[in-house]
Amino acid sequence: MNEPRKCLIIDDDEDDQEIFKMCLRTVNKDINCVGVFNGQEAIDMLKASDEYVPQHIFLDVNMPKMNGIECLRILRHIPELKNTKIFMYSTTSEKSVLEESMKLGAEKYIVKPAKTSELKKILSEILL
């Protein structure tokens, strides 16, 4: 009946992706999570397929080649993703980055927590 929810994480850091997926599985094991290591790859993938439309995208900020803000700007212009919620997910908590991402249409700005319990809490609130 209901397709399992899809989520996409864009982060150049392997460890962070692994932690994220681990926590996500604990919160909701039915969510299908794909991990991509850079913004360009994500954009190419999303543009290539009409069928793959994740409900949630988690986007890191500090990435080489294309940073999160750049990526966000482009993602928000993809018509298929108009209902997708994009969450910034970053180590940096700089005000200017925060403001810029909210301006560009991010749903929320998540600062990567040190404790997994913290992350699980945040994820459960989002996926409610």
The rounded distance, in Å, linking the Cα atoms of 86 and 116 is: 21
Structure tokens at 110: 């998540």
Contact (Cβ atoms closer than 8 angstroms) between residue 32 and residue 5: yes
Selected binder of another protein within 6, 12, 21, 108 (CB under 8 A): 12
Nearer CB in complex with another protein: 32/62: 62
Structure tokens at 106: 């991010």
Q: Is position 70 an interface residue for another protein (rule: CB under 8 A)? A: no
Of 27-35, 39-47, 79-87, 106-114, which segment contacts another protein by CB under 8 A?
Answer: 106-114
d(C-alpha 110, C-alpha 50), whole Å: 28
Segment (H or E) for 124: helix 116-126
**Residues touching another protein: how many (CB under 8 A)?**
19
**Cβ nearer to another protein, comparing 70 with 107:** 70
**Residue 63 interacting with another protein (CB under 8 A):** yes
Which of 25, 102, 116, 125: binder of another protein (CB under 8 A)? 116
Distance, in Å, from the CA atom of 111 to the CA atom of 4, rounded to the nearest integer, reads 26
The residues that touch another protein, with contacts defined as CB under 8 A, are: 12-13, 15-16, 19, 22, 37-38, 63-65, 91-92, 112-117
